[in-house]
Structure 1
Amino acid sequence: MGRGQGLDELLRVVQRCGQPGETLEWLRRWTGAEVAWIDGGALGNGVVAATPGFPGVVEALQAQVERLADGRLAAATTRVGDLEVRLEAFGRREPRSVLVTASAAALSREAAALVSQAGGLLQLLGEASRADDSARGDEDKARALRFAVLTALMTGDVTLARRMTSWDVPPLLGAERVRVHLLHCPPADRDRLARTFQDASGYHGHGLMVHCPAFEEHLICPIAEATENAAPDDRLDRLEHGQVLRRLVRENPGYALGVSRPHPLTALAEAYGEALHALAVARNSPDRLAAYRGRPLLIDVLPRPAATAWARAHVAPLHAEPKLTQDITRLAVTFPRTAVAGLLRVSRTTVVAHCGRAERALGLDLGDVRARAELDLALALTDLPPDPAAVPRQVPPTLAELLHTAPAITWAATFLQPLRDVRHRDLEATVRAWIDHNTDAQRTAEALALSRNTIRARLRTAERLLNRDLLTTASGIHDVVHAIAVTGHRAHSGDGSGHRARWSKSDTAA
């Protein structure tokens, strides 16, 4: 076999295996020499690959290896006992890698040339591998930074998000308004999608693609909303970003997309909540795509001074607890505890412990859906800006009094109206029973003498009609709880302070 044929075969071997070991074994068979590869980037310049019969000569040649690795020599030939040892360095930067052959006789010119070519290919493979590792490291850092930026925006802190990215601020942080697109896709696809559409800065044009830490099927994609005076190229970039997500849904049956309304950048958390609700609708829709249909929120129709007074009294005991307890409790009223652990990067045991502290402080059982709805409403009201014209109340109202004001009654009737359509018989009764049984589908099925699958199918229909997420993150259940409490004339009991407003025991009857 001639040198040209040998080189062709060497290229095939390197292309096929991509690792030094098989290439060195091929060289041994071709040249008759034992071969070793010393990676200059390896700790201690040790032998990282060698043929099985390679003799222990490297230790005796340590001085030559060091001169080759640091660039003082390009190649060297010496004898160690009865062996002729040939060393050649490869790479443009120190420490360089060294290929060593040991044979009873000197290599022929053809064999020596093939060894040099093999060394060059191995060096290129090593550099490519290190470049891949570096690229993966950069991708991991970019992914972590995107998550940190999203986390800051979820708290409304745009300034903190800008500080995190001060050397290269993403265009999203200059947006006046933003929509959140929430893509449901197989978990394995999230890395590929984020990598495919990532730009040189580690962002995604005028948007971000962020892995949801709580739900592994979710890719959170906030995208800047185009303004009328935006440059044409900017408008095209935003349009294409949203269109790409829609195209992915059309082309992949396992995908679904929920889209929020436009919101100020400081209200990204609200936009995310809308996208969650829209995604629940999308997953139950034929085209697997839904935009959030806005409806008034309960907190918007309650009498503000009275509702705020109740809410502050209700959550007051929580203020004495550690900040982490407060943060965990805010999430735990909506998300499963495993999801809370993922969102805050803490253990589930930590979440359980802090939830226990909150329960003891508030006198609530957070395992009860009505208690969670109560606390969620109170937390949402305390987050509202204070009304400067409000007159402080001496005695806060009870939750029952708030929920039976005329605006709340109108809101509840409007909210539940879709469940009362004649085409969806028994749907409202199923949802009411589900709430009465603490959102336990099995217990609900037993109470209604139906199968669990029938209950879940009806709940999925309710999701679509109410435009609320009930089964995935359960973030829409609390609206249902309050609406049912109002329209069912369910009585609340309390001590007058509002600390422990409760539904009466009769409310749990199916």
Structure 2
Amino acid sequence: MPIPQVLDELLRQLRPRGGQDVTLDPQGLIDWLGRHIRAEIALVDRAGEVEVATARFAPEVLSDLQPVLAQLSSGQLAAAASQRGGFHVRCAALGRHVPRPVLVVGSHLPVTREALALTSHVGALVEVLRQARQADDLALRYQQVASRLRLAVFMALMAGKPTLARRMTAGALPPLLDAERLCIHLLRCPPADRGRLIAAYEDASGYHGRGLMVRCPVYDHHLICLLPVEHDDDNDNVGGGLAVSLRALVRDDPRYALGIGAPVPLPATARAYDQARHALAVARHTPERIAHYHDQPPLAGLLPRQQALAWAHAFLEPISTAPQLTLDITSLALNFPRAGVARLLDISRNTVTAHLRRVQDALGLNLQDPRSRAELALALAVNDLPPLDVNTAAEHAPTLSVDRLLSTEAAITWAQAFLQPLQTGADRAVQQTLQAWIQADTDAQRTAHNLGISRTTVRAHLRAAEQLLKRSLQTPGPGTHEIVHALRIADRAP
């Protein structure tokens, strides 16, 4: 076959078939070349191992070629030829970067000039395919590293440490960290869509313009979008084009929903995330599938500050010397399922359970009980508040019981406002279900049994409560803690 026709056939090996993409397959090219020049061929990689070879290539051929292969791979030679007992061997180094792969061609007949030319073409194509595959691998590794860096920045912001987030980027600073405030848009979508969406909006720096998109490490259906607040007086235009795109995605796909938190300072990212979670719980049950968070002052900030700090310090004193990892796991376990905490920290679920058991034993609590979890969460929230008067230490204030703290006028007013949406008509049945649900340790099956209703009805009442209270209740977190406190205050209030 004339050389031009052979080259045309060689190029056809690279054409997509059946509408599929080009397959980067050196093995196919080596087999094709072996058939055309009637030779046995092997591709020796940079480590000196056979990467691909024709079916009848004898590995012992390479044993006598080791010195030559070393010279070819190191760049000392470009090509070499030898003869072993009537077996003709040609070797050619591929590429420019040492150590180089080597193409070895062996046959019982001398290799013709045309066969050598064709071998040279195939060798060049094989190296191009190898480089393309390496480029794909490098691109994939870059995407993985960029994804981990974005997650690390998000976690530093969740810990209230924007300065640490800046230092972690090692000079590749995301524009988001130059903003004074941010807003979190929490998108619910099929898990497989998250990577596609992140790639679609990712720029050359690995970020998303002035925003940041992060796969939620706990919930597979959540895509966390951190958007800067550009203007203090324009909260409806947060995040610019990316926010508009997220809304369009939800509008066009009924599987999507979007929860939008309120603008907060960067150190308050954890609060913004909780707000977005609550808003997403509401959005999932509305026709538009988009909901904004309706702000309400947190209970911890309404309690008498010095007395509340004194109570929190006394409550948490048994774990004041616990390892930081134990405290971090405990804080996370109040907001996420234990399996999610394990994934987030890359530890086993048994390790999470062991740390929580130490906290339970030290505090004398049962962290399976939502009331104990809510009380611990309140103590941690109060403990994070600064004292109103820096000259007055919390230890000098009288230590009240938690019941006394929750009996103050501010707490009662907060609980009444929180529960007010449940006070009319059929919504009273929702409140009764919530009370039974808390008493049953948030177990829907036990709640249904205790109330004499179906589990489906319990689930429906919980969804209704999410809509009315604008809080997320289906997963562990602040929404359940607030329900516990509000019901506890309401039961004791005059």
Q: TM-score, normalised by structure 1?
A: 0.90
Judged with a 3 Å threshold, the aligned counterparts in structure 2 of structure 1 residues 131 and 336 are, in CA distance, closer, same or farther, namely: same
The counterpart of 1:420, out of the listed 420, 423, 436, is: 423
Corresponding residue pairs, total: 484
Q: Counterpart amino acid of 2:182?
A: V
1:115-138 Cα offsets, whole Å, 9 max, x none, are: 211111110111111111111112
1:449 Cα deviation (Å)? 1.8
Measured after TM superposition, the shift of residue 109 of structure 1 is 3.1
Q: CA RMSD in A?
A: 2.3
SS in structure 1 opposite 2:64? helix
Q: Is the 8 A contact 2:72 2:78 kept in 1?
A: yes
The separation in 2 between residues aligned to 1:11 and 1:237, in whole angstroms, is: 51
Is contact 2:250–2:257 with CA below 8 Å preserved after alignment? yes
Q: Secondary structure at the match of 1:422?
A: coil
Residues of 1 paired with 2:63 and 2:347: CA distance? 49
The equivalent residue for 2:18 is none
Give the partner amino acid of 2:90.
R
Contact 1:259–1:279, Cα closer than 8 Å, also in 2: yes
TM-score if structure 2 supplies the norm length? 0.92
Q: Indicate the residue corresponding to 1:481 in structure 2.
A: 484
**Structure 2 residue identity aligned to 1:4:** P
Cα distance in 2 for partners of 1:274, 1:331 equals 16
For 1:462 and 1:228, how far apart are their aligned partners in 2?
Answer: 32
- Cα distance, 1:228 vs. partner? 6.8
Deviations 1:324-347 (A, max 9, x none): 222222222232211222222222
Q: 1-side partners of 2:321 and 2:71: how far apart?
A: 67
Offset at residue 362 of structure 1 (A) = 0.9
Distance 1:251 1:38 in 2: 52
Question: Is 1:27–2:47 an aligned residue pair?
Answer: no
CA contact (8 A) 1:182 1:218 kept: yes
Residue 186 (structure 1) aligns with:
190
Gaps of 5+ in 2: 16-21
**In the alignment, does 2:299 pair up with 1:298?**
yes
The reply to whether residue 315 of structure 1 matches residue 345 of structure 2 is: no
Deviations along 1:398-443, whole A, 9 cap, x unmatched? 1112222222112111111112233535111111111121111001
Residues 223-270 of structure 1, C-alpha deviations (whole Å, 9 max, x = no match): 11113799xxxx999311212222222233222221111100111111
2:452 is aligned with 1:446: no
Counterpart of 1:405, as a letter, is: T
- Per the TM alignment, residue 11 of structure 1 is displaced from its structure 2 partner at its CA by 2.5
1:205 is aligned to 2:206: no
Tell me whether 454-463 or 51-60 shows the greater mean CA deviation: 51-60
1:10 aligns with 10
> Hey, what's the Cα distance between the residues in 1 that align with 2:79 and 2:321?
72
| AA at the equivalent of 2:416 | A
Specify the alignment match of 1:133 in structure 2: 137
2:27 aligns to what SS in structure 1? Answer: helix
Structure 2 CA distance for aligned equivalents of residues 420 and 353 of structure 1: 41
On the 8 A contact 2:213/2:224 being kept in 1, the answer is yes
Task: Kindly state the Cα deviation for residue 204 of structure 1 after the two structures are TM-superposed.
Answer: 1.6
Written as runs of structure 1 = structure 2, the 5 A alignment for 1:274-353 is 274-353=275-354
Q: Which amino acid aligns with 2:168?
A: M
CA distance in 1, matches of 2:408, 2:201: 50
Q: In the alignment, is the contact (CA less than 8 A) between 1:206 and 1:237 conserved in 2?
A: no
Q: Does the aligned pair in 1 maintain the 2:430–2:461 contact within 8 Å?
A: yes
Q: Distance in 2 between matches of 1:197 and 1:33?
A: 50
- CA-CA distance at 1:173 after TM superposition: 1.1
1:352-391 CA deviation, whole Å, 9 max, x = no partner?
1111111111111111110111111111011001111657
Quote the residue 1:164 is aligned against.
168
Please give the secondary structure, in 2, of the residue aligned with 1:169. coil
Residue number in structure 1 paired with 2:56:
53
Q: Distance between the aligned counterparts of 1:17 and 1:336, measured in 2?
A: 43
1:23-422 equivalence runs, <5 A:
23-40=29-46, 43=47, 45-55=48-58, 56-227=60-231, 238-388=239-389, 393=396, 395-422=398-425
- Check whether the contact 1:181–1:258 (CA below 8 A) recurs between aligned residues: yes
Q: Do the aligned residues in 2 keep the contact of 1:214 with 1:340 (CA within 8 Å)?
A: yes
Q: Is the contact between residue 280 and residue 472 of structure 1 (CA under 8 Å) also seen in structure 2? A: no
Match of 1:307, SS state, is helix
Provide the rounded CA distance (Å) in 2 between the counterparts of 1:229 and 1:337.
40
1:349 to 1:277, Cα distance in 2 relative to 1, 3 A: same
In 2, distance between residues paired with 1:375 and 1:259? 27
Structure 2 letter corresponding to 1:37: L
**Contact 1:14–1:121 under 8 Å retained in 2:** no
Aligned-partner Cα distance in 2 for 1:121–1:237: 50
Q: Percent identity?
A: 48
